[in-house]
Amino acid sequence: MNIYGYIRVSTKEQNEDRQLIALNEIGVSKEKIFMDKLSGKDFNRPQYKKLVKKLKKDDLLYIKSIDRLGRNYEEILEQWRMLTKQKQVDIVVIDMPLLDTRRGKDLMGTFLSDIVLQVLSFVAENERTTIRQRQAEGIAAAKLKGVQFGRPSKPLPNNFYEFYQKWKNGEITCTLAAKECGMTISTFRYQSEIYEKANSL
């Protein structure tokens, strides 16, 4: 039997120390810990996939909490069944002792752990939905206050309108107009479209 650990944080900036400490305390060796720094919206994660390939019958997998496995309700349940039923691996969720497939393998134990798993999976996805809603509301509120997002747009060169007009009148080519304005051809065309739309309103 091999003992593995899985860690997930949503971004590269987030700290995985809390999960790492928990796995070290249980005795999972460093080389048997797999970690992804990706969203839990799905299971398309390189280290998770690598871990699943390594897992064999009767191996043991530790995770700190169910939301570290993922945040998609249906996919968490699907992965859990795949690991425990198809690959016949045992899973222990450190923060939820009821989710320990080594215990209660009788009908009642399986029933109870299935209920707990479904509830926690729902909570994990619901939390993800709530976070996204709060982010969207925060961005909308910031925009109302005039906060600008993204890179600030560069001001147009002073001679843009002059060379735009010459180009439109067929006096010069687009390539020459863009060059005189210090722009790429695509940027010149893009800014010209914006200018035309603004003047057609």
Q: Among 10, 39, 192, 200, which one carries the catalytic annotation?
A: 10
Q: In the 8-state DSSP scheme, what is residue 186?
A: H
Report the distance separating Cα 23 and Cα 30, nearest Å: 9
* Strands (E) located in 10-126: 33-37, 60-63, 90-93
Left if phi > 0, otherwise alpha if psi is -120 to 50, otherwise beta: which for 146?
left
Alpha helices in 55-173 (DSSP H): 66-69, 73-81, 107-144, 160-168
Comparing CA positions, the residue from 163, 149, 150, 151 lying closest to residue 191 is: 163
* 192 in active site: no
**Contact assessment for residue 23 and residue 64, using Cβ atoms and an 8 Å cutoff:** yes
Catalytically annotated residues: 10
